[in-house]
């Protein structure tokens, strides 16, 4: 399974990709997570990326393509992957297409997670991630279960992403409209686009996503 999840910040790409990773055994490849790891490690890339991320802007296409090339070459991606947050521009989509064409492993589908902008604001305002395991929660709609433990046996250590503040969210949504939305037509023209309603509970959205996957498998 080689899938791209496309959608605005807060549409649920990360949460659904984490679920699918657990269920289908193919890795979630989140370029946002890869960049946050570089920030946490204090590498040159991380230091440069942090400034761009905190401003709600996009990291340069050539850097992102380098990151994705390296990540998809790792052995766990050989059986497939779920791309979450990549590609975000036409240049990235062209680069990904060329890379996968070289490898002879094209993407199966691009799933657009459609959602009302008002819901996005609410989702992002309540979003929290675990500092240690990286799982994504929502303080109201998807909090950790009482007593639930992190991978290391301790309680989850939740934090709010610095770019989830109101002002940066506004900027990220406008960058999404300008730079990423054109990918909807781009993939529709290639016949790869599938749309799902990303409103509702995690389980509801997950079933819609699974239905798309099932339709791909049955079409093969
Ligand atoms: P995300 O976790 O996907 O919301 O990404 C967080 C931030 O990382 C974005 O707002 C961008 O600054 C940066 N980023 C993540 N993926 C990309 C990408 N494919 N291209 C450019 N910047 C990215």
* CATH value at residue 117: 3.40.50.300
Expressed in angstroms and rounded, the spacing between residue 32 Cα and the centre of ligand 1 is 5
Instruction: Please count the residues of the chain.
Output: 220
Query: Torsions phi, psi of 150, nearest 5?
Result: -80, 175
Is residue 218 in some structural domain? no
Residues 38 and 45: beta-carbon distance below 8 Å: yes
Report the domain count for the chain: 1
Q: Is the pLDDT of residue 139 over 70?
A: yes
Read off the pTM. Answer: 0.92
Residue 220, pLDDT score: 58
pLDDT value at residue 44: 95
Q: How far is the CA of 218 from the centre of ligand 1 (A)?
A: 33
pLDDT digits (tens, 9 = 90+) for 162-179: 999 989 999 999 999 999
Show the DSSP H helices in the chain as ranges.
Answer: 13-24, 31-41, 44-54, 61-72, 90-103, 117-126, 166-175, 182-189, 202-219
Residues 185, 66, 85, 166, Cα dihedral to 10°? -110
Residue 217 counted as domain residue = no
Is 137 inside a domain boundary? yes
Asked whether residue 161 carries a pLDDT value surpassing 70, the answer given is: yes
Range of weakest confidence among 59-63, 125-129, 214-218: 214-218
Instruction: Spell out a b/e string for 153-166, using b for 16 or more CB atoms within 10 Å of the CB, else e.
Output: eeebebeebebbee
Residues designated as active site: 13, 88, 127, 161, 172
Identify the pLDDT of residue 143: 94
DSSP bridge partners of 83 = 4, 29
- Judge whether 216 lies within some domain: no
Q: Does residue 131 belong to any structural domain of this protein?
A: yes
Residue 70, classed as helix, strand or coil, is: helix
Instruction: Judge whether residue 219 has pLDDT over 90.
Output: no
Q: What is the domain range of residue 122?
A: 2-210
Indicate if ligand 1 lies below 6 Å from the C-beta of 119: no
For residue 177, give the 3-state DSSP assignment.
helix
Using the atom order of ligand 1, give the atom closest to the CA of residue 9. 4
Report d(CA 53, CA 88) in Å as an integer.
Answer: 14
Q: What angle do CA 12, 15, 143 make, to 5 degrees?
A: 105
In the predicted model, is pLDDT for residue 217 greater than 90?
no
- Model pLDDT, residue 72: 96
- Give yes or no for residue 39 CB within 6 A of ligand 1: no
Lowest mean pLDDT among 30-34, 132-136, 204-208: 132-136
Q: Residue with structure tokens 């996957």? A: 213
Q: What percent of the chain has pLDDT over 90?
A: 86
pLDDT at 218 over 80: no
Question: Which of the listed residues 11, 12, 14, 31 should we mutate to test ligand 1's pocket, taking the one with most ligand atoms within 8 A of CB?
Answer: 31
- For residue 193 and ligand 1, the question of a CB distance below 6 A is answered with no
Residue 219 lies in a domain: no
In a domain, 215, yes or no: no
Q: Which atom of ligand 1 is nearest to the CA of 86?
A: 19
Ligand 1 site, residue 58, Cβ cutoff 6 A? yes
Mean pLDDT on 203-207: 97
pLDDT band at 117 (very low <50, low <70, confident <90, very high): confident
State pLDDT tens for residues 22-73: 999 999 999 999 999 999 999 999 999 999 999 999 999 999 999 999 999 9
Distance CA(8)–CA(154), nearest Å, equals 32
């Amino acid at each position: 399974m080689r899938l791209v999840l496309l959608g605005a910040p807060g549409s649920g790409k990360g949460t659904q990709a984490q679920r699918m990773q657990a269920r289908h055994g193919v890795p979630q490849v989140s370029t946002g997570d890869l960049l946050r790891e570089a920030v946490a490690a204090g590498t040159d890339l991380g230091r440069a990326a942090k400034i761009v991320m905190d401003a709600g802007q996009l990291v340069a296409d050539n850097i992102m393509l380098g990151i994705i090339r390296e990540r998809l070459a790792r052995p766990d991606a050989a059986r497939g992957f779920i791309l979450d947050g990549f590609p975000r521009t036409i240049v990235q989509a062209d680069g990904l297409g060329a890379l996968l064409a070289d490898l002879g492993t094209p993407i199966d589908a691009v799933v657009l997670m459609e959602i009302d902008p008002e819901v996005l604001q609410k989702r992002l305002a309540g979003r929290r991630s675990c500092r240690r395991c990286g799982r994504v929660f929502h303080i109201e709609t998807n909090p950790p279960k009482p007593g639930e433990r992190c991978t290391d046996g301790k309680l989850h250590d939740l934090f709010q992403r610095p770019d989830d503040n109101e002002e940066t969210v506004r900027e990220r949504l406008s960058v999404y409209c300008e730079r990423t939305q054109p990918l909807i037509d781009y993939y529709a023209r290639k016949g790869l686009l599938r749309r799902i309603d990303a409103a509702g509970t995690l389980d509801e959205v997950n079933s819609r996503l699974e239905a798309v996957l099932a339709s791909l498998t049955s079409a093969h």
